[in-house]
Every structure is written in C-alpha cells, then in structure tokens.
C-alpha cells in the first residue's frame, strides 16, 4: 500500500503542503463560520470524521471547488432572503393601499348616498 498523501475527494497526490489543505485544520477555513469538514459532510452526504486511517487533505483544486460552492450557496440564501423581504414589503404596501381604497370607496358611497337623500327630500315649503 502506498504511503503517499491523497486528496479525499479526487484522490490526486498531495505531496506538497502548498498544494493541499488539511480539512480539520481551523486555520484552513478562511473566515468561515462552519468547519470545512462539516461542509464536506453536507456536500458528500457522508459524515467526515477525523480518522487517521482516512486521508484528511484536499488538493487545491477540490478545495477551491468546495469553497466556491459554499460561497454560491451563501449567495443563493442572500438572494432568496432579499426576494422574501421584497415580497413581504409588497404585500404590506398592497394591504395598506387596499385598505385606503376600501375607505375611499366607502366615503364615496356614503357621499353619494347623502346627495341622493337630499335630492329625494321633499322641500319644506311643500309640507
């Protein structure tokens, strides 16, 4: 069996530490809230544990792919939240406009009703 270091994802040889990233190394996660191994677990639908029997490195190429996927997923969440917020604002605005329209319609109807009542009144001279 070979004693070389291989990428967990693509099995590429990772002889140099410059060309590989330790997935359980906290310094390897650039400003990320979530641990890199946890990201991989979600992507692969497989629990990634710190196991000396299993390779614990990613080549630069796979690291960049995982990092890009994480950034894109975060961007999708931001866009989705913006759409939801815009929709909520629109619904609130529409409800306010609808309430205003209903009130104006009531006032118009009441105004016409008063006018028609005045038109139908018998003049006081006749009584």
Q: Which residues pair with 6 in a beta bridge?
A: 13
What span, in angstroms and rounded, lies between the C-alpha atoms of 75 and 71?
6
Q: Residue 62 annotated as binding?
A: yes
Q: Residue 7 annotated as binding?
A: yes
Q: Which residues contact 43 (CB under 8 A, 6 or more apart)?
A: 66, 69
3-state secondary structure of 21: strand
Confidence (pLDDT) at 1: 46
Mean predicted lDDT score pLDDT of the chain: 79
Q: What is the pLDDT of residues 51-108, one digit of tens each?
A: 877 778 899 999 999 999 999 999 999 999 999 999 998 888 787 777 776 777 766 6
What is the CB neighbour count within 10 angstroms for residue 29? 19
Confidence (pLDDT) at 34: 64
- Inter-helix orientation angle 60-120/36-44, to 10°: 80
Please state whether beta strands 57-59 and 20-22 pair in parallel, antiparallel, or not at all (unpaired): antiparallel
0.85 exceeded by the pTM? no
Q: Residue 10 annotated as binding?
A: yes
- Tokens 């979600």 correspond to what residue? 42
Fold entry, domain 17-83: 3.40.1800
What span, in angstroms and rounded, lies between the C-alpha atoms of 27 and 110?
72
**Would the pLDDT of 28 be above 50?**
no
| Contact of 23 with 37, CB cutoff 8 Å | yes
Confidence (pLDDT) at 30: 53
């Amino acid at each position: 069996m070979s004693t070389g270091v291989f990428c967990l994802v693509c099995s590429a040889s990772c002889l140099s530490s410059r060309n590989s990233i330790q997935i359980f190394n906290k310094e390897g996660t650039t400003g990320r809230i979530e641990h890199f191994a946890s990201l991989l677990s979600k992507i692969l639908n497989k629990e990634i544990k710190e196991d000396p029997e299993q390779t614990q490195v990613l080549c630069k190429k796979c690291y960049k792919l995982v990092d890009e996927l994480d950034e894109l997923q975060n961007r999708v969440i931001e866009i989705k939240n913006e759409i939801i917020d815009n929709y909520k604002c629109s619904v609130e605005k529409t409800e306010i406009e609808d309430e205003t329209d209903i009130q104006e319609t009531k006032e118009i109807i009441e105004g016409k009703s008063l006018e028609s009542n005045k038109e139908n009144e018998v003049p006081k001279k006749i009584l």
